[in-house]
Chain A
Amino acid sequence: MTEISMTVNGRAARASVPDNTLLVDFLREHLRLTGTHVGCDTSQCGACVVHVNGRAVKSCTMLAASAEGAEVTTIEGLANGELHPMQAAFKENHGLQCGFCTPGMIMSATDMVARYRAAGKELTEEAIRHELEGNICRCTGYHNIVRAIQDGAAKMAAS
């Protein structure tokens, strides 16, 4: 067992977990933050994407112990009383069908918006499609996901 402590969605989280606990399992099973999904469990699908110290990572491919002291943000941490602009954009643009991939899509989307803004680069439609390489939607809904991210990026810039 390993003692771990980190900040999850602004709150301190502390636990004693088996050393082989994955970050996604710590979030889901220990903290009951089940918005982060396990899709493929093989680092391909991106349903488990969360932010660790402000960067998108696949939480199924990181040990909870490696996140010691980190700031973790999950899909539950985005909304602040009302939907985050990116969440609202997914809703308005029909950026989801079954919704399973959506938390990971939104966490990847807010990450790419932040990175492109920091680098002073334009987040074009082509760039969004490239940036989504690590997120898989099996309802075949990419067109609306891309539109949602374009809209969400504009909303984030305005807010």
Chain B
Amino acid sequence: MYDVTYHRAASVDDAAAKFSAASDGQLLAGGQTLLPTMKHRLAAPSDLIDLRGIADLVGVKVSGRKVTIGAMTTHAAVAENAELAKVCPAIVKLAGGIGDPAVRHQGTIGGSIANNDPAADYPAGLLALAATIHTNRREIAADEFFTGLFSTGLDEGEIITAVSFDAPETCGYAKFPNPASRYAMTGVFVSKGGGAVRVAVTGAGSDGVFRHEGLEQALSKDWSAAAVDGVKISADGLMSDIHCDAAYRANLIRAMAKRAIA
């Protein structure tokens, strides 16, 4: 790892000020992606601004069906939250399947979505749940937030403070994990609520997480695994890499969508 200057932020405003003062600053959340990237010398920020000490950014609030998760809440804390499991079990299951136990004790929801890895789990969940991403400047709808491969609607220096969503009537998540990394080779999150069905796919698209219109239309008419069989799933725009090709991923979308509904 190259030299870096470490700062611990006392508050969100303090983090924003420290970021502005740095020549090439980077916010540090759980560090489970950023630190390995820095160790590989694929990232070399001049300054790291650690958000770990900001208590306001940590915690899960469930009020009726309204869910708010602080940006620095770890995957383990989401996975272990009994109240959240009652209203939205799929997001709890999703968090409990990220990485491994030690990674889940450090990695955070804010860090995950700010990175927007094309094979990460949370982007699929938040997109399918029509979540709102809260920052220190504004609120961003998930549809506008996930803009492509490792890119988001965040402006320079903008800090995610929380995500919120209304727990749907029903939802589900299934992923086919890469056996080594546990990242999704394909993951599908389905949700149904308020008359609308949303289906988000991660790990498969060459431009990151996306909604699948064909599946959404079919499941709007018939919320069943059988309905998935009638949907044409194109391999166009899907990733091919050493793990599998686009056609295989197209089949995984179908298989994971069925498991997510079941």
Residues of A within 8 A of B (CB): 2, 18-20, 22, 41-44, 46, 49, 52, 55-58, 61-63, 65-66, 68, 108, 111-112, 115, 119, 131, 133-135
Contact = CB atoms under 8 A, between A and B. Distances in A.
Nearest to A43: B36
Contact of B4 (A19, A119, A135): A19
A133 B182 contact: yes
Given A18-B3, A66-B28, A61 B106 contact: yes
Contacts of A111: 101-102
Given A18-B3, A63-B35, A119-B80, A56 B8 contact: no
A61 B4 CA distance: 15
Contact of A56 (B5, B39, B102): B102
Contact of B32 (A19, A20, A61, A65): A61
B59 to A, nearest CB: 16
Interface residues of B, number: 29
B48 to A, nearest CB: 8
Given A56-B102, A134-B102, A66 B2 contact: no
Interface string B7-44: 01000000000000000000010011001101100000
A66 B3 contact: no
A112 B40 CA distance: 30
Nearest to B6: A19
Nearest to A18: B3
A65 B50 CA distance: 9
B3 A44 contact: no
A20 B2 contact: yes
Contact of B36 (A19, A42, A56, A68): A42
B102 A68 contact: no
B99 to A, nearest CB: 7
Contact of A20 (B4, B100, B103, B182): B4
Contacts of B86: none
